[in-house]
Amino acid sequence: MPTARATSSTKSGPTRVRTRTAKPTKTGRGRSSASAKGGVKGSASSKRVTKAGFENYHAAIAWLMDLVNVERLRPTRVDPKNFKLERMKKLMALLGDPQNELRSVHIAGTNGKGSTVAMIGACLREAGYTEGTFTSPHLIDLRERIQVNGKPISHHAITQVLGKVAFAAQKLDKSSKLGAITFFEAMTAAAFLYFAEQAVDVAIFEVGLGGRLDATNVLTPEVAAVTGIAMDHSVFLGDTLDKIAREKAGVFKKGVPALTFKQDAQIINAMREVAEEVGAEFQVLGSDIDFSCRFEASAHLGPHMRVGLSTKQHTYEHIPVPLPGEHQAQNCGLALAVLDKLRERGFDLPEMKIIDGLSGARIPGRMELLKGEPRILLDGAHNPSAMGALVKSIGAHVPYDSMVMIFGCAADKDVDGMLDEVARGADKVIFTRSTKNPRAMDAEELGRRFAARTPKMFQVAASLEEALQLAKLAATRDDLICITGSFYLVGEAKKLLVPHEKTAALAPHTPAGA
């Protein structure tokens, strides 16, 4: 049993149990320290990379991990020079512009990008196409970011493509004043190279941050789509939904279909203006494209959403949504609209192949339910909008007596907004922090903020392991333990709970509670 000390409030209110939290681990200037998987930090940076590339996987990852990684930096420490699309263009030119060989789909947005990518990819695979997906962040292994037909890039292949990227980056350093490439730029370039080498039929790219200046935006895709937009990364993208929407719509290109679904009017207006400026054909599900969704429950499928979509090309009726939640119905509709645009461009995508493909779509770390008693649900919700959608989805799809929530998030997020959603959804709360995320907020501070907003009981744990021990003590077999607030935290949880990836992702054709 973990050591804890009980602290009684002098004011009227519940007793809260707190434990001391570990201090954040410093990684120095926001760079990632390489683990046993990646070699020693800096071990590759001082050595020249030859045209032959890296000697082995560890050397490649050591080089990669020594690059500036914006994902791990606090916003106040990010140099604006890190966002230079011109640098990415020159890097790709040195590599032969492999992105120009690809037929691609580009997905931007605040929430739902990964789910939309997963659904599009699953349908293309089922229809017999070879598809590549580039997503971020990863949960356990960075190779998850680059996949072909659902399989991560091999150790050998990523070593080879990173060697080519590193060699080109050295030339770039010498020939320009654009600065060193970043971790994300290196991974994006590696994905372009790998997908071109694999001759994929379609490459689906998820934007890393924003859109306009994102490293993926050297693409000219077959179709671009923007998922739900909410306040997030406001230091980089702007402090209003209008500004954020314009940054996301920066992926729109002349003559390329641009899609989104119905959302806040200022978001739609901003995106429509950008589309008109660049000459993109802009359509909105629920406005320009007929779209409907409904919730239903059945003995076979359990509680689930169904969507309908009608375009000039095709009409889809009562299509089961493979991922739980009303928000996933919108993402599913967007995926269907993207597939419809691909059909216009010559792809053979029969409706039954799409339905079968959707039924097999999975996205790790999003409403991912692990078998056991009590059951544990993992979700990487990391802003108030995503947290609200998570709480609503759990209520609609997962039966439980009481919910124990383990929560940890980055300090640069809208923490108070997320805590309001935590208070609404959880019966008991345990705050902790990811040991892998240098941006993580101290668990004690989370507790203080929570106490100022609600009288609900909470505990503070120094580590995720301790938080899990506390949660299992508090939960009965019919309760639910939910781990959320950060993909870093969810990744740690998967390592602890499912080291061999034996998970059961919650899906409509697996009735909740099964």
CATH of domain 103-129+202-363: 3.40.1190.10
Contact call for residues 37 and 80 (beta carbons, < 8 A): no
How far, in Å, CA of 429 to CA of 256, rounded?
Answer: 46
State the span(s) of the chain assigned CATH 3.40.1190.10.
103-129+202-363
Instruction: Classify residue 13 as left (phi > 0), alpha (psi -120 to 50) or beta.
Output: left
Q: What is the value of pTM for the model shown?
A: 0.83
State the span(s) of the chain assigned CATH 3.90.190.20.
5-26+365-497
CATH of domain 5-26+365-497: 3.90.190.20
Paired with 403 in beta bridges are 480
Contact call for residues 159 and 57 (beta carbons, < 8 A): yes
Whose tokens are 């544990």? That residue is 376
How far, in Å, CA of 175 to CA of 484, rounded?
Answer: 44
β-strands 428-431, 403-407 pairing: parallel
SS3 507: strand
Print pLDDT tens along the chain (514 aa).
Answer: 343 333 333 333 333 444 433 333 333 333 443 333 333 333 334 467 888 889 999 999 999 999 987 765 555 555 556 667 999 999 999 999 999 999 999 999 998 999 999 999 999 999 999 999 999 999 999 999 999 999 999 999 999 999 999 999 999 877 678 888 999 999 999 999 999 999 999 999 999 988 898 999 999 999 999 999 987 656 567 679 999 999 999 999 999 999 999 999 999 999 999 999 999 999 999 999 999 988 887 767 677 889 999 998 889 998 999 888 888 999 999 999 999 999 999 999 999 999 999 999 988 998 999 988 999 999 999 899 999 999 999 998 899 999 999 999 999 889 999 999 999 999 999 999 998 888 899 999 999 999 999 999 899 999 999 999 999 999 999 999 999 999 999 999 999 998 655 443 443 333 233 2
> Which residues make Cβ contacts (< 8 Å) with residue 208, sequence separation at least 6?
71, 136, 184, 188, 214, 215, 216
